[in-house]
Structure 1
Amino acid sequence: MNTTPDTPAQNAATLRPAPLALSDVVASVAVGVRQFRAIPVLSMAFAALFVAIGLLLFAALNHAAVAPMSLSLAGGFLLVGPILLAGFFSVADKLRHGRRPHFGDILDGFRRMPRGGWVVSFVCGLLFLIWITDAGILYGFMVGREPIGFARLLRIERIVVDFAAYSAIMGAVLAFILFAVCAFSIPLIFDRRAQLVSGVVASVRAVFGRFGVMMCWALLLSAVIMASALLLPLLLFTLPVMAYASRELYFRTFPVAGADRAS
């Protein structure tokens, strides 16, 4: 899949997004489920690393009695999610070629990621820090030093609902910007079909050019990942499935000449 166009004209052609429909989103998720079922142990083993990190973070929040911040962390996971994609992409590509992937392929995916992909990942991490900082400031204004652990969080008190609502509105802007920039730039850069700038431009063009379909995908992705980040064991299944699905949707948006779609 690492197809590098020979000329600028060819490059422009390969970065022209194809028409999309909601059926492409449904089919991409179906491919994600099939690929997960083909290698469930490897997929869950990689996802388990982030589940463990999430458990440690949630334990720290409960110990500090600032449990409502877990809602911001769950939303913020969408901002750092693109950093993880290289490992899942490498595994998915092995499956597409009919080969059996192993754990070394996950590491190989990160080694294969060009510098431009790491620049985008750095921006993701920077936006995550901005998001958490803003959420912390908002928490200080709305909740203050009132101790709230997870036991009290489950009561769904008004103060928690208000914090969640305002922080969601605030984070939605960052999440949309990041989605438009990263949705297709990282896979294009990973496959060396684009450089940093051309990949970002192509991604933004694809998102706005197929706005309705892409917003449906964005809402589905955010709902599944945020719910799973709050109910961490679910992330073992949903994180790989959605990562594989995003790889398939990328191939449907920017088809590679002569390449078959995943069956």
Structure 2
Amino acid sequence: MNHAALSPTRLTFGDIAASLREGAALARATRGVSMAYAAVFSAVGLILIASILALGLSPLVLPFAGGFMLIGPILLTGYFEMARITEYPAAPKLADAFAAFARAPRSLWLLALVCAFLFLIWITDAGVLYSFTLGGTAMDYGLDWLDTQRDDLLSFLLWGSLMGSLLAYMIFTISAFSVPLVYERRATLVQAVSASAHAVIGNFLVCLVWGVVLGSVIVFSVIVLPMLLLTLPVMSYASFALYRRAFPYDEKPTAVAN
């Protein structure tokens, strides 16, 4: 394992466009297995959203959808592994995506705990904000409230968006590139988080735009769940492609050791 200092390259908006094209191409090439893996998250999301709507707490759908961005980097490890497999070349299987978690180094699980902790903070804060702004007001089953003009609802959405954006930026900064760096065993956890932060801050505008695009697409897709089957593979592979542009290999990478 090479723990040499990692210096991120300078990214451009063209890198975002190129990564999206690569992500779309790889998603098409692995359509069946990629959509099957996305279906797992879609099923979990469907259960959570249905439960929230049934309880008359429909405005909390948005915080839960946004919360996916806090734990998403860890869950996408399966896509990173499938992207690696296609480089050799070989055809990835669904089992490869789940096996990625078993092969993941311990430091990646520590990073997962950090993401999960921030997710719990976010959901707790969203619940407290809901109680202060909309507490005692039951929302009808469904999302009809999205086209209403209510001060309490607008206040919930405004402050919720501000808090969520702050947490999302924090987790994006430390995990955007550290997750694949740790998974590919190119750095220790501390080195990977430091390298990720340097890459995001050093390419602030490019990474900000990428984060907004990534977050907007995924959050909207979580709300309209069937879209997640299509968008999650594309955005996951695009994220991996952008990571490879930020931290390119000097030579062809080797397989992740068991």
User: Into which bin does the TM-score normalised by the smaller protein fall?
Assistant: over 0.9
Q: Is residue 220 of structure 2 the alignment partner of residue 227 of structure 1?
A: yes
TM-score, length-scaled by structure 2:
0.94
Aligned to 1:55: 46
1:174-213 map, 5 Å: 174-213=167-206
Alignment partner, residue 162 of structure 1: 155
4+ aligned runs moved over 6 Å, structure 1:
none
The residue matched to 1:96 in structure 2 has which SS?
A: coil
1:31 is matched with which residue?
A: 22
Cα offset, 1:166, TM superposition? 1.1
Worse-matched range after superposition: 92-101 or 65-74: 92-101
Q: Give 1:133's aligned residue.
A: 124
Matches within 5 A, 1:1-263: 4-5=1-2, 11-12=4-5, 15-149=6-140, 150-158=142-150, 159-259=152-252
CA distance in 1, matches of 2:143, 2:230: 26
Moved more, 78-87 or 150-159: 150-159
For 2:44 and 2:181, how far apart are their aligned partners in 1?
A: 29
Secondary structure of the corresponding residue to residue 62 of structure 2: helix
Provide the rounded CA distance (Å) in 2 between the counterparts of 1:227 and 1:161.
Answer: 18
Identity of aligned residues (%): 43
Unaligned runs of 5+ in 1: none
Distance 2:12 2:153 in 1: 38
**Deviation of the 1:251 alpha carbon:** 0.6
SS for the counterpart of 1:97 is coil
Tell me the CA shift for residue 182 of structure 1: 0.1
Structure 1 residue aligned with 2:256? none
Q: Which runs of 5+ in 2 are unaligned?
A: 254-258
Larger mean Cα displacement after TM superposition, 161-170 or 32-41: 161-170
Shift of 1:55: 1.1
Question: Once the 2 structures are TM-superposed, how far is the Cα of residue 148 of structure 1 from its aligned partner?
Answer: 0.2
Displacement after TM superposition at 1:151 (Å): 4.9
Q: Deviations over 1:97-134 (max 9, x none)?
A: 22111112112211221111111111111100000000
Aligned residues: 251
Write the deviation string for residues 123-173 of structure 1: whole angstroms up to 9, x where unpaired: 111100000000000000000111102254244342333211110101111
Structure 1, 145-154 or 203-212: larger mean CA deviation = 145-154
- 1:154–1:19 CA distance, 2 compared to 1 (3 A): closer
Cα distance in 2, alignment partners of residues 154 and 218 from structure 1: 24
Q: Provide the rounded CA distance (Å) in 2 between the counterparts of 1:244 and 1:255.
A: 15
Query: What CA distance in whole angstroms lies between the structure 1 residues aligned with 2:90 and 2:143?
Result: 47
Amino acid of the residue matched to residue 77 of structure 1? Answer: F
Give me the CA root mean square deviation: 1.3
For 1:161 and 1:235, how far apart are their aligned partners in 2? 26
CA distance in 2 between counterparts of 1:171 and 1:155 reads 21
C-alpha distance after superposition, 1:1-24 (max 9, x if no partner): xxx32xx6xx11xx1001111111
Distance 1:252 1:43 in 2: 22
Q: Which amino acid aligns with 2:118?
A: L
